Amino acid sequence: MQKYMLSSIGAFSLCLLFSFFTTTNVSAQIAELFAPGVISDGGVFGLTLSPDGKTAVFVRAYGGRDSLHLFISRLENGNWSTPVRAPFSTLGKNWNDIDPAFSPDGKFLLFNSNRPLAGRPKADFDIWGVKRTQTGWGEAYHLGDVINTDSSDIYATVANSGNIYFSSNRAGGLGKLDLYMSVYRNGAYQSPQNLGAEINTQNHDSNPFISPKEDYLIFWRQDPDGYGASDLYISFRKKNTWTKALNLGPAINTEIGEFCPFIQPKGKKLFFSRTRVNGAVRVENIYSIDFSAKQFRSVQK
């Protein structure tokens, strides 16, 4: 999720028509509501799952953007438990927590927060982390000023290498929101690099999900020719460059907004969120669909 979408949804969309032939065709499927009534209750977005698939962390939005907190549910005997607030989230405070993302090994979680830093209030979101052990969650920690800036630095996901991919509206980008990558080297994050014009446009490009091996990237994009309010795209890394992004098609992208993509490590489902404004209330839920990146790779030039 990004600061842009926290305020309001504008008229933005993107459409890239394409065809492909695979054993499992996404366009022939229907996305299913995730944990209806328990997790998906009309006021949630931004799901991440632990590698074993038994812990879900997501954002509870309460039908708006004034109050945003992270909640946790556990898979018990085949059913998702009643969600409870994450102990590292900030219920009742004057700041918000959003966009959780497990590391591929499940040992820590990234999220975004505009909570005070060093006793000073923050007007923008920064990237935070929290470690997870067999006995529970640790204390949330700030990822530092190499990655974070005075602009909004949001929706971070991490690869097996430790490299972090995120979006930011910092100065020097190609558009209103761009995607960046910070290399993790010798125990420290390096200065983030813009992912370039094959990924970033003059509008909004955000919510990157990086595959554990860093061979593909799924994200949402704004463009005036789309299916709806925001569409999900995929790009592949070839010889250290990113291919032109492909739209994931009408089974996933609709006339409303799709965002917050996530694939569980070794999983075969794409999880994502949909949002629409219904009067004074924002209605949003989490969905899943069978998914294989290979079917999109086959149509790349």
Tell me the pLDDT tens digit for each residue of 283-294.
Answer: 999 999 999 999
- What value does the mean pLDDT take over residues 268-296? 94
Q: What is the pLDDT of residue 53?
A: 96
Tell me the pLDDT tens digit for each residue of 74-89.
Answer: 999 999 999 999 999 9
- What's the rounded Cα separation, in Å, for the pair 142 and 112? 9
- Are 113 and 97 in contact by the 8 Å Cβ rule? The answer is yes
Whether CATH 3.40.50.300 fits 3-297 = no
Three-class DSSP category at 62? coil
Give the model's confidence band at 23: pLDDT under 50 very low, under 70 low, under 90 confident, else very high.
Answer: very low
What are the residue ranges spanned by the domains of the chain?
3-297
Tell me the pLDDT tens digit for each residue of 247-265.
Answer: 999 999 999 999 999 999 8
From residue 191, how far is each of 164, 165, 221, 255 by CA, in Å?
11, 12, 24, 37
- Are 237 and 256 in contact by the 8 Å Cβ rule? The answer is no
DSSP 8-state symbol, 3: H
Main-chain phi, psi angles of 297, to 5 degrees: -60, -35
- What's the rounded Cα separation, in Å, for the pair 209 and 5? 17
Would you state the structure tokens that stand for residue 203, as one six-digit string?
A: 């509008």
Give percent above pLDDT 90 in the chain. Answer: 78
- What's the rounded Cα separation, in Å, for the pair 246 and 230? 14
Q: What is the pLDDT of residue 26?
A: 64
Give the model's confidence band at 6: pLDDT under 50 very low, under 70 low, under 90 confident, else very high.
Answer: very low
- What value does the mean pLDDT take over residues 293-300? 82
Inform me whether the pLDDT recorded for 205 exceeds 80: yes
37: which residues sit within 8 A by CB, 6+ positions away? Answer: none
Give the model's confidence band at 25: pLDDT under 50 very low, under 70 low, under 90 confident, else very high.
Answer: low
Q: What is the pLDDT of residue 110?
A: 98
What's the predicted TM-score (pTM) here? 0.90
